[in-house]
């Protein structure tokens, strides 16, 4: 894992077309903005995990 230090309004570039910008730092919370092409999905880890669980064979749908 690459670990970088950034301050508010600073950006990290991933590849040629994904930008991660630090929007705000308040206490122990950091708000980030992600600018990526529409064909790149971006999810929080817990949402990604839920999507994967639902996609598993035999998963219950509500």
**Long-range CB contacts for residues 30-39, cutoff 8 Å, separation at least 24:** none
Is residue 45 domain-resident?
yes
pTM (2 d.p.):
0.79
Is residue 48 domain-resident?
yes
Give the CA count within 13 Å in the CB-facing half-sphere of 53. Answer: 8
- Give the burial class of 6: count Cβ atoms within 10 A of its Cβ; 0-12 exposed, 13-18 middle, 19 or more buried: middle
Is residue 33 domain-resident?
yes
Residue pLDDT, tens place only, 5-30: 999 999 999 999 999 999 999 999 99
Is residue 4 domain-resident?
no
Is residue 20 domain-resident?
yes
Is residue 15 domain-resident?
yes
Is residue 24 domain-resident?
yes
Number of domains in the chain: 1
Is residue 42 domain-resident?
yes
Residue pLDDT, tens place only, 26-60: 999 999 999 999 999 999 999 999 999 999 887 66
């Amino acid at each position: 894992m690459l670990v970088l230090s950034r301050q508010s309004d600073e950006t990290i570039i991933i590849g040629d077309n994904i930008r991660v910008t630090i929007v705000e730092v308040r206490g122990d919370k950091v708000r980030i903005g992600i600018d990526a092409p529409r064909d790149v999905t971006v999810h929080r880890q817990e949402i990604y995990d839920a999507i994967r669980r639902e996609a598993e064979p035999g998963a219950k749908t509500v």
